Amino acid sequence: MELREYMSIRRAYNLVRQNADAASRLTFEEFAILCRLEAVGVPVKTSEIADYQGALRPTMTHRTNHLASLGFIDRGEGLVDRRNIVCSISEEGKQHARNLARLTCEKIPAGQPLARITSERMCKYVDAMGTVYCTAGELVLVCLLEAEGERCTVTMLVDRLGFLQPTVSMSVAALAEKGLVVRSRPEGSVTRSLDIELTQEGRDVAMGIFKRIDSIVVRRRTRVE
């Protein structure tokens, strides 16, 4: 998967999430679980969903608990081993996933990667993207990598990522403490905006994240003979 495609979808979904009701707001990973369960079409063990997302079991339990509390998934005992908890998407969950996919499509501006993608295809992209977890800080790093050669400030990152400004500011501060980015004021500038650049270590980390994104495989459309 191309980095520009990945970032286009993540930005669009971040904007959708900002406008969602707090009670039903889903993380990108939770959205991906719904897309995966709908694509599979059969109950899936919680452990298998955890393997799909590369998440620890407690993390996956938290995500599926949230989805179940909203009525988006149903959980039950496994048929072979009742100690196994299996999850399946509910009709309400299917409708919610499709609605999120439609809204995400609408948030991709004309001329941007995947601007003409369908809702059905979006669900397949989100399902595939669910295999790679990225924190807000990691998204900042790959955004800076993608924008190398251009001036980047917190305001510009907010626009490119679709995050709220406090999220970006805190992420940048944490990255600066780790030595992954540097902040500087342009010579002669009278504004409070600081330029943000990757350090060499930050670029190396960003390249590692890029390789994970590049390894994502999105299933092709079924050809009609």
Among the candidates 94, 129, 164, a domain finishes at 129
Kindly report the pTM of this predicted structure: 0.90
CATH number of the domain encompassing residue 57: 1.10.10.10
Among the candidates 85, 107, 129, a domain finishes at 129
Q: Which helix (H) or strand (E) holds 157?
A: helix 154-161
pLDDT of residue 190: 62
Give mean pLDDT, residues 179-194. 81
Q: Which residue has the higher pLDDT, 87 or 77?
A: 87
Contacts 24+ apart (CB under 8 A), 85-88: 85/45, 85/46, 86/43, 86/44, 86/45, 86/46, 87/33, 87/37, 87/43, 87/44, 87/45, 87/46, 87/49, 88/37, 88/42, 88/43, 88/44
48 and 66 housed in the same domain: yes
For residue 225, pLDDT over 80 is answered with no
For residue 186, pLDDT over 90 is answered with no
Q: How confident is the model at residue 149 (pLDDT cuts 50, 70, 90)?
A: confident
Are the C-beta atoms of 147 and 182 separated by less than 8 Å?
no
Alpha carbons 88 and 43: distance in angstroms, whole number: 5
Query: Domain for residue 99, yes or no?
Result: yes
175 and 77 housed in the same domain: no
Q: How confident is the model at residue 224 (pLDDT cuts 50, 70, 90)?
A: very low
Among the candidates 129, 151, 168, a domain finishes at 129
Are the C-beta atoms of 211 and 3 separated by less than 8 Å?
no
Are the C-beta atoms of 61 and 46 separated by less than 8 Å?
yes
| Summary mean pLDDT of the chain | 92
Domain range for 155 is: 136-214
Q: How many domains does the chain have?
A: 2
26 and 124 housed in the same domain: yes
Query: Domain for residue 33, yes or no?
Result: yes
Query: Domain for residue 222, yes or no?
Result: no
Q: Which helix (H) or strand (E) holds 195?
A: strand 195-198
Query: Domain for residue 124, yes or no?
Result: yes
> Which tokens hold the place of 18?
């900002």
Alpha carbons 202 and 86: distance in angstroms, whole number: 40
